[in-house]
Amino acid sequence: MSSGHADDIRKHVKTYLMVFGALMVLTVVTVAISYLHLEVHEAIMIALAVATVKGSLVALYFMHLNHERKLIYYSLALTAVFFAFLMIIPLATNLDKIVQK
């Protein structure tokens, strides 16, 4: 957040309220979908997709990641990479089993 102009902020406030609305709608959507009792596979995909959209909204608008400094992006990118490495763990154990069978 660079400027502190009150007018700017008012514009932001409008965005915040719109994001709020979007989050509410998406929450209802996730719950509604879960009542369809889809295949586990699809259910996971959809639930994760919706959660990702919601999470991105929070991060981008509430946490102002839509315009942040480069340095923050770098450190988050690094974290994202290591996050991905962590996700190898479940894969690692199961890939072994698949290979052995």
Partner 1 sequence: MDNVTTAGHAPAGAHAHGHAHAHDHEQSFVWKYVFSQDHKVIGIQYTITALLFLLFGFALMALMRWQLAYPMQPIPVIGGLLGMANAPGGIMLPEFYNQLGAMHGTIMVFLGVVPLAVGGFGNYVMPLMIGAPDMAFPKLNMASYWVYFIGGVVMLVSFFIPGGAAQSGWTSYPPLSVITATDGQTMWLIGMIFLITSSLLGSMNFIVTIIQLRTKGLHFFRLPFFVWAQFVTSFLLLLAFPPLEAAGVLQLMDKVAHTSFFLPSGLVVGNKVMAIAGGGNPLLWQHLFWFLAHPEVYVLILPAMGIVSEIIANNTRKPLWGYRVLIYAIIFLGFMSFVVWAHHMFMTGMGTTMNSFFQTTTMIISIPSVIILSALFLSLYGGSIRYNTPMLFALAFLPMFGIGGLTGLPLGLAPSDIHLHDTYYVIGHFHYVVAPGTIFALFAGIYYWFPKVTGRQMNEMLGKIHFVGSFIAINGIFFPMFIQGLHGVNRRLYDGGVQYAHAQPVLHWNMFMSMSAWTLMAFQIVFIVNFFWSIKGGKRVGPNPWNATTLEWTATTSPPLAHGNFETQPEVFRGPYEYSVPGRSTDYFPQNQRD
Partner 2 sequence: MEIPYTVEVRPDTGLSNGKLGVWLFLSSEVMLFAALFSSYILLRVGSTEWPHGYEELNVPMAFFNTIVLISSSVTMVMAWASLKMNEFAKFKLYLGATIVLALVFLVVKYFEYEHHLVAGEGPSHSTFLAIYFTMTGLHGLHILGGIIVNTYLWGPGNKMWKTEPERFTNRIEIAGLYWHFVDLVWIFLFPMLYLL
Q: What is the distance of C-alpha 19 from the center of its chain?
A: 14
Per-residue interface string for the shown chain with partner 2, residues 31-60, x marking contact by CB under 8 A:
x-xx-----x--xx--xx-xx--xx--xx-
How far is residue 24 from each of residues 5, 53, 57, measured CA to CA in Å?
Answer: 29, 12, 12
Measured distance CA(47)–CA(12) in Å, rounded: 29
How far is residue 2 from each of residues 5, 9, 19, 63, 100, measured CA to CA in Å?
Answer: 9, 11, 21, 13, 56
Question: Residue from 6, 40, 77, 89 that binds partner 1 (CB under 8 A)?
Answer: 89
85 binds partner 1 (CB under 8 A): yes
Minimum Å distance from CB 37 to partner 2? 8
Per-residue interface string for the shown chain with partner 1, residues 45-84, x marking contact by CB under 8 A:
--------------------------x------xx--x--
Q: What share of the chain is helix, strand, coil (3-state, %, to 5)?
A: 85, 0, 15
Minimum Å distance from CB 40 to partner 2? 7
Task: Give the interface with partner 1 as residue ranges (CB under 8 A).
Answer: 71, 78-79, 82, 85-86, 89, 92-93, 95-100
